[in-house]
A and B are shown apart, each in its own frame.
Chain A
Amino acid sequence: MRRSVIPVVAHRLAILCYVVFALFPLFWLLKVSITPNDLLYSEGVRMWPSRTTFEHYTHVLRHSDFPTFFKNSVIVSGSTAVVVTVCASLSGYALSRFSFRAKYWIVALMLLTQMFPLVMLVAPIFKMLSPLGLTNSLTGLVIVYSAFNVPFATFLMQSFFDGIPKDLEEAAMIDGATKFTAFRQIILPLTLPGIAATLGFVFTAAWSELLFALMLINGNDAATFPVGLLTFVSKFSVDFGQMMAAGVLALIPAGLFFLLIQRHLVRGLTAGAVKG
């Protein structure tokens, strides 16, 4: 009995280290965001301030452009998620259920897009979108983000379709349904969890994107949350409480998604690497 205690304690201690390491930065973010300005410097490394306040949050929500940034980001990420999920369900279905001549090339093309540095495209995309009036516009961002996320989402949806037995739609087609009807009425409802997962993955990816947003957007009206936060940081670099309050706000959608997605996490992360 005594011999087995030491490994168990070591195991729990190691786990504790990981939990602390994972949570500490987020804890600190939260802590500074509720510390009153006058205590920020005097109580430097204290783990918890002696007084707490929500004034940073009210200030950020009432007197700054962050509500606009938040709204812009929600519009961009939401639209991107919908566009990508529709396109990826269709193409994922094609890859899962049909064998056709160009399939190999489509998969190769999609894998290629996962390999090359997207930062390569910053300059040409800016040059191409600007005569179309799509720079400094949310529509432009939605188009760019949709294209970037379609390949991964396709592999993800394909892996969900692969998990549904073919007999189901074959039975429907014997009963006289066309392939598209079978897809719409039988297969799609069964993939709802997969569709939700894809929506979530793409939403978070679009929510986090920084470099293209920085390049394509200037000015506050069309700025997404990352652009707004970085501009804020370089302009008002002393308002730490407000910056961190804004940071906590940026975390909310991602955190919500994470709670919903947890069960699909493994499949989601391995789909791109293993499939194709």
Chain B
Amino acid sequence: MSLTGTINGNRTSTPFVKRLADASEPYLYSAPALILIIGVMMVPLVVGISYAFRDIQLLNPFSGGFIGLDHFRALSEDAAFYRALKNTLWWTGASVFLQFFLGLILALLLDKPFWGRGLVQALVFLPWAVPSFLAGLNWAWLFNPVIGPLPHWFFAMGLMDQPGNLLSDPRLAMWGPIIANVWWGIPFFAITLLAALQSIPRDLYEAASIDGASWFQRFFSITLPFLAPTIAITVLLRTVWISNFADLIVVMTGGGPADRTQIVASYIFTQAFKRLDFGYASAIALVLLVLLLAYSMLIILLRQSLLSKD
């Protein structure tokens, strides 16, 4: 009793300065991180949005004027942009689907104990540690008929008329970065799903098999419902992340041949990096941002309507 009394007494008589110091403590801890984020991400974000309405070309000293919606008018007639939008859907859809599907299978395979599991796990997760630019170059070399084996194997299997480079074939080029992305991204899904799998109580499976449930019944009525939240969250976050992920495309094809592998993110980069047209690049970026926001809103609404149904 007396102890709590003194503590309360102290607190009410704390001087103003001390209370201010206490209240500002968490802000002081967060300050360095916040200064970095605001200075290097939020300010450029706002500046970038303003560029979308200005004529900014790095090499043209007379540019910089306010031009209203001109960029967006140009964008609405830009066939390359529509192609990039379509390619983004294709790139994101195929990559996420294959990464998730193959990652789930890998997680299920690794969930079963077997001799040498630790080593196997380290080996199959290794691609995740490979820097993305190297993953891109590595696969570009594998597809190169001069030094890579893949064209010759595809030719031998009858998939190709001649051992040519997949990346320079306009019809097939997109598969190059997608395959590299799948190789690189499977571990991410496998790791996350494996963690979720291992948190499922084991006795559920025992009870189910005592009741005579088959593997498929156990999978669909125990595993899948338990994994559902993890699956939802990783797939949704990865979708956004992969649609913005331009490294592999920049490295492997640079958007070519004939813009067949250009996605919106790499198109923005090309406009800024190669053509130094910062205004137009920012206008495309703004459209991409709006699309991603719309996607996120859609997801939140979907989630709420699903939750309220339960």
Contact = CB atoms under 8 A, between A and B. Distances in A.
Contact of A119 (B27, B129, B269): B269
A192 B233 CA distance: 29
A250 B58 CA distance: 32
| Residue from A88, A118, A244 whose CB has the most chain B CB atoms within 10 Å | A118
Given A90-B29, A116-B289, A214-B273, A146 B36 contact: yes
A256 B146 CA distance: 31
B250 A211 contact: yes
Q: Bin the interface of chain A by size.
A: 35 or more
Given A123-B281, A229-B137, A247-B137, A11 B109 contact: yes
Contacts of B269: 119, 122, 211, 215
Contacts of A86: 32
B85 interface: no
Given A147-B40, A150-B36, A91 B141 contact: no
Interface string A176-195: 00010000000000000000
A210 B254 CA distance: 13
B29 A93 contact: yes
Interface string B201-244: 00000000000000000000000000000000110010010001
Contacts of B137: 229-230, 233, 243, 247
B134 A250 contact: yes
B33 A88 contact: yes
B33 A117 contact: no
Nearest to A179: B25
Contact of A273 (B32, B48, B142, B237): B237
B130 A215 contact: no
Contacts, number: 255
B167 interface: no
Among B26, B109, B194, B244, which residue has the most Cβ atoms of chain A within 10 A? B26
B159 interface: no
Interface string A93-104: 111001010110
A113 B37 CA distance: 8
Contacts of B138: 25-26, 28-29, 247
Contacts of A29: 138, 141
Given A119-B246, A247-B134, A150 B27 contact: no
Interface of A: 11-12, 14-15, 18-19, 21-23, 25-26, 28-29, 32, 40-41, 44-45, 86-88, 90-91, 93-95, 98, 100, 102-103, 106, 109-110, 113, 115-128, 143-144, 146-148, 150-151, 154, 179, 204, 207-208, 210-211, 214-215, 226, 229-230, 233, 240, 243-244, 247, 250-251, 254-255, 257-259, 262, 265-266, 269-270, 272-274
Interface of B: 23, 25-27, 29-30, 32-34, 36-37, 39-45, 47-48, 51, 56, 58, 105-106, 109-110, 112, 114, 120, 122-135, 137-139, 141-142, 146-149, 152-153, 183, 186-188, 191-192, 194-195, 233-234, 237, 240, 244, 246-247, 250-251, 265, 268-269, 272-273, 278, 281-282, 285-286, 288-289, 292, 296
13 contacts: A15-B120, A88-B33, A90-B29, A113-B41, A117-B285, A119-B244, A128-B44, A143-B36, A207-B131, A226-B133, A247-B134, A266-B192, A269-B192
